[in-house]
Amino acid sequence: MNGHELEGRVAVITGGSRGIGLGIAKAYREAGAHVVIAARKPDGLAAAREELLHVKGDGEVHDVVANAGEPEDAERCVAQTMTRFGHLDILVNNAATNPYMGALLDLDLPRAEKTVRVNQYGMVAWTRCAWRAWMAEHGGAVVNIASVGGLIVDPHIGWYNATKAAMLHMTRQLAYELGPQARVNAIAPGLIKTELARAVWEPREPILTARLPLRRLGTVRDVAHAAVFLASGASSWMTGQTLVLDGGATVLPIGVEA
């Protein structure tokens, strides 16, 4: 990366106040973009904004209180972005929720609906707004943050993983529907050391890393670098694809211990 990959572009990042979303916002700013971060909590957004302003970069930082599962919030955020910058070149569908842990057969409808609403329908709603406001006429790049969980079976988070699998499919579907103007790609991260996942990685980090071919867990920077690539001209002939960033977790031979 040379620091100018996204010079002057405008990027909207859902869930941009913490973790992977904030990491992507930092990397985009370093690459020359103006960033609009959206999340539900104003305090978190204000703190993220301060952090972003300390990152080297000339781009502006704008924050919008918005729930990724509310289509009206998507419309408001995109409208504010257009008013402020006049264009919207990159959309990162990063916000997700996981309100249920357990077997599929024990899942209740309210939590099932909430997961689909934010993770799955949210991706469509935000992409539609960006498309109608700018990308249909002028082009752009959509980057969806899915999960390696969308490719595997897990005993506890099967419903969340099903929405992530849906994101991977919708990435291909939208790549077809939005081409040639806009490109749509996804990232499927393995376990990344964010606050969200701390309870999973912190107590078991040595065991988890020993199993991975690359012998370490993922960082926010790992995902952010891939998100810069997918938003930049370096990936201009790539659409409908998923980059799996998992330290090699999904290439482990079945039944073989590290």
Ligand X SMILES: NC(=O)c1ccc[n+]([C@@H]2O[C@H](COP(=O)([O-])OP(=O)(O)OC[C@H]3O[C@@H](n4cnc5c(N)ncnc54)[C@H](OP(=O)(O)O)[C@@H]3O)[C@@H](O)[C@H]2O)c1
Q: Which is nearer to ligand X, 195 or 202 (CB)?
A: 195
The active-site residue, picked from 100, 121, 160, 176, is: 160
- Comparing every residue's Cβ against ligand X, the nearest one is 19
To the query of whether residue 100 is one of the catalytic residues in this protein, the response is no
Closer to ligand X at the Cβ: 138 or 215?
Answer: 215
- Minimal distance, residue 76 CB to ligand X, in Å: 13
Whichever of 32 and 44 has its CB closer to ligand X, that residue is: 44
Closest approach of ligand X to the CB of residue 235, in Å: 19
Q: Which is nearer to ligand X, 10 or 68 (CB)?
A: 68
Interacting residues of 173 by C-beta distance below 8 A, sequence separation 6+: none
Q: Which is nearer to ligand X, 4 or 210 (CB)?
A: 210
Q: How far is the CB of 70 from ligand X (least distance, A)?
A: 8
Closest distance of CB 138 from ligand X, Å: 26
CA distance 215 to 72: 43
| Distance (Å) of CA 28 to CA 55, 169, 191 | 10, 26, 22
Q: Cα–Cα distances in Å, from 8 out to 28, 32, 39, 85, 241?
A: 10, 6, 23, 10, 25
Q: DSSP secondary structure string, 209-234?
A: HHHSTT-S-B-HHHHHHHHHHHHSGG
Closest contact distance (angstroms) between CB of 246 and ligand X is 9
Binding site for ligand X (CB under 6 A): 14-21, 39-41, 44, 67-69, 94-97, 118, 145, 147, 189, 191-192, 194-197
CA 29 to each of CA 52, 54, 108, 139, 161: distance values in angstroms, whole numbers, following the listed order: 8, 10, 41, 20, 30
Kind and range of the H or E run holding 244: strand 242-245
Q: How many helices (H) and strands (E) does the chain have?
A: 10, 7
Q: Read out DSSP for 12-50?
A: EEETTTSHHHHHHHHHHHHTT-EEEEEES-HHHHHHHHH
Residues serving a catalytic function are 160
